[in-house]
Amino acid sequence: MQQILQGEAVTDRRRMYIFLVDVSGVAQTGVTGITVTVSKNGGSLNAADNSLIEISNGFYYYEFSADEIDTLGTLAILVVTTEALDFPGMLMVVLRDLHVSIVDQVWDERLTGMTHNVPTSAGRRLRQVAGGLILHDGVAQAAASNTMTLDVGADANDDFYNHAIVRIVDGTGSEQERIIVDYNGTTKIAKVAPPWIVIPNSASDFELLPGVSHAETNSKTVKIGLLQSATASTATLDSSASSIDEFYTCDVLEIDAGLGEGQEKIITAYNGTTKVVTLSSDWIVIPDATSEYIVEEALSVVPEAELARKLISNTRRLLANGDEEVLDDDENTVINIRRITDKGGKPVTILTVTPGVPTLQTKTL
């Protein structure tokens, strides 16, 4: 049986082709006095909106109007004329081709652990494959300028999603991506940086992706988090920062996202109780509580003009090949050897630090 899509916009696809013959089976051309009626789903026959159009050699077509194909189900047509036999016809008005509808339903099905968890099933396997790319997905419960409350099924462990990327894939705030800098497994609240441009809401679908934005960091990364506040020459790290005084002294504080992004400062002092770091120079743009920071070991990130190291009770000695050896107090035992380079791998200025000597001697490779 012929099918026409409900609401089909292409007029050529709304046509039914008709062959008119007389009682002897002879094709009738130029037929006049034609009456066309249509019926929806067995209802009464009503006058058709359009007329029969002749093609040639007894072939005609009727083009249904948009109103005539607005209802799903059967659509009957009756063509009556005194010059040919009556022609009854019937077709189906359908939503979509059946196989296309089934395929769409399958591929639009949401893959969740609640509904696709049968062992070895296709749905579960697809979820497992996606698990390598998507850490978690769901619908947000709420959000604020620099936070988002994940769904109740999110992980219950604190900091589990730290440094992951949260992407809004549908709903309010869609297409935004932010870095999670702190996560509370009890409340499901994730702090993000920088702040949202459009704040998501309880109808926003999200995905959590691995934190590829921190691919530039390495084993010398000491701490990543969200500042609590800052002044012209200080910054207060998040509450999870070390409680040991001077723990980050001589490391580098970099604003990785949010207000003040791109600035780097050497830490000259650190208070483990207040979490306040004192910096080598004033900020150009003072960060705030929306600023994500990275603390990195100085030698891994700063160029020679800013190079500084902690004064420890050891002597450092430059070797001919550009390595540096660190001697213990009796200057006999080598306790560490490292190659000193800048970010690009180029050797930088070496500091020779001698205990008890307040000045630093430098040598450029």
- Residue-level pLDDT at 38: 96
Across 167-181, 247-261, 297-311, least confident range: 297-311
- Residue-level pLDDT at 240: 83
- Residue-level pLDDT at 119: 59
User: Is the pLDDT confidence value at 207 over 80?
Assistant: yes
Confidence (pTM): 0.41
User: Is the pLDDT confidence value at 325 over 60?
Assistant: no
Do 194 and 178 meet the contact criterion of CB atoms below 8 Å apart?
Answer: yes
Distance separating alpha carbons of residues 270 and 236, to the nearest angstrom: 10
Categorize the per-residue pLDDT at 127 as very low, low, confident or very high, splitting at 50, 70 and 90: low
User: Is the pLDDT confidence value at 330 over 90?
Assistant: no
Q: Is 189 helix (H, G, I), strand (E, B) or coil?
A: strand
Mean predicted confidence (pLDDT) in 238-249: 89
User: Is the pLDDT confidence value at 145 over 60?
Assistant: yes
Q: Which residues contact 157 (CB under 8 A, 6 or more apart)?
A: 185
User: Which value, in Å, is the radius of gyration of the alpha carbons in the chain?
Assistant: 37
Do 325 and 352 meet the contact criterion of CB atoms below 8 Å apart?
Answer: no
- Cα separations in angstroms, 43 against 35, 37, 46: 18, 11, 9
- Residue-level pLDDT at 224: 80
Do 186 and 160 meet the contact criterion of CB atoms below 8 Å apart?
Answer: no
pLDDT digits (tens, 9 = 90+) for 211-230: 744 333 444 567 888 899 99
Stronger pLDDT, 52 or 359, i.e. the higher one: 52
Categorize the per-residue pLDDT at 80 as very low, low, confident or very high, splitting at 50, 70 and 90: very high
User: Is the pLDDT confidence value at 96 over 50?
Assistant: yes
User: Is the pLDDT confidence value at 288 over 60?
Assistant: yes
Any idea which residue has 């009503």 for tokens?
46
Average pLDDT, the chain: 78
Across 118-122, 177-181, 295-299, 319-323, least confident range: 319-323
- Cα separations in angstroms, 362 against 4, 187, 268, 316, 340: 84, 51, 19, 11, 13
Across 29-43, 157-171, 199-213, 234-248, least confident range: 199-213
Across 115-129, 171-185, 304-318, least confident range: 304-318
Stronger pLDDT, 347 or 204, i.e. the higher one: 204
pLDDT digits (tens, 9 = 90+) for 302-324: 333 333 343 334 445 555 545 55
- Residue-level pLDDT at 60: 96
Stronger pLDDT, 345 or 155, i.e. the higher one: 155
pLDDT digits (tens, 9 = 90+) for 35-45: 999 999 999 99
